[in-house]
Amino acid sequence: MQLLDTAAEIFIRDGYAGASIDRIAAAAGVGKPTIYARFGSKANLLKMVIEHILENRLVAIDDRITACTAEEGLKEQLANIITASTEPMFVGIFRLFLTEANNFPEIFAAFHSTTELQSKRLLIEHLARHREFDSLKASREETAGILLDMVSALVVMTSVRSDSHQTLSARQEASRIVDVILHGLLPAQIPSP
């Protein structure tokens, strides 16, 4: 949706405080009442911008993913989340979150509820669909949370780098994260004869 893309660009460029509804309406070519009628407030508009970015960037679990082994499917889904989370528009919104969430609680609320829940749901659904994950020592929710915590570290590092346009290998990073979580860092012990 054009209006949400325009709003995202203005939030990223001007910050939350500087992104007025007047400026967004003018740039999008709509009236201010239209924005308030659709979204109610600037905080709700930001929440919808974040949801819009995620829905248009995050690849859902599809046939290609479910046709893989359980572990490879988990890596694929995590790679999709990493790709979505390091896409330039999302990184711009994430920078807004990092710099302004302390001053504007509505940014924290909009960002946290949208990003955390959608990504976590995708991972939990994948973990629940495969019996291979039934023996995990942590619950599906805890496992998904740990995976996302590791992705968050990547997103933070990407967002603070000045060369954030440098390409990150989402598949390689997802593979490393899943391998660490599922298999640990040490090789399996070889039983003595």
Would you say residue 115 has pLDDT above 90?
Answer: no
pLDDT at 96: 86
Confidence of residue 89 (pLDDT cuts 50, 70, 90): confident
**Sign (positive/negative) of CA torsion 30, 33, 37, 43?**
positive
Q: Residue 187: which residues within 8 A CB-CB, separation 6 or more? A: none
Domain total in the chain: 1
For residue 173, what are the domain limits? Answer: 42-183
Is residue 50 included in any domain, yes or no?
A: yes
Residue 188 lies in a domain: no
In the predicted model, what is the mean pLDDT of the chain?
Answer: 84
Handedness of CA 139, 145, 149, 152 (dihedral sign): positive
- For the entire predicted model, the pTM comes to 0.77
Higher pLDDT, 193 or 8: 8
Position 189 in a domain: no
pLDDT band at 93 (very low <50, low <70, confident <90, very high): confident
**Proportion of the chain above pLDDT 70, given as a percent:** 84
Does residue 20 lie within any of the structural domains?
no
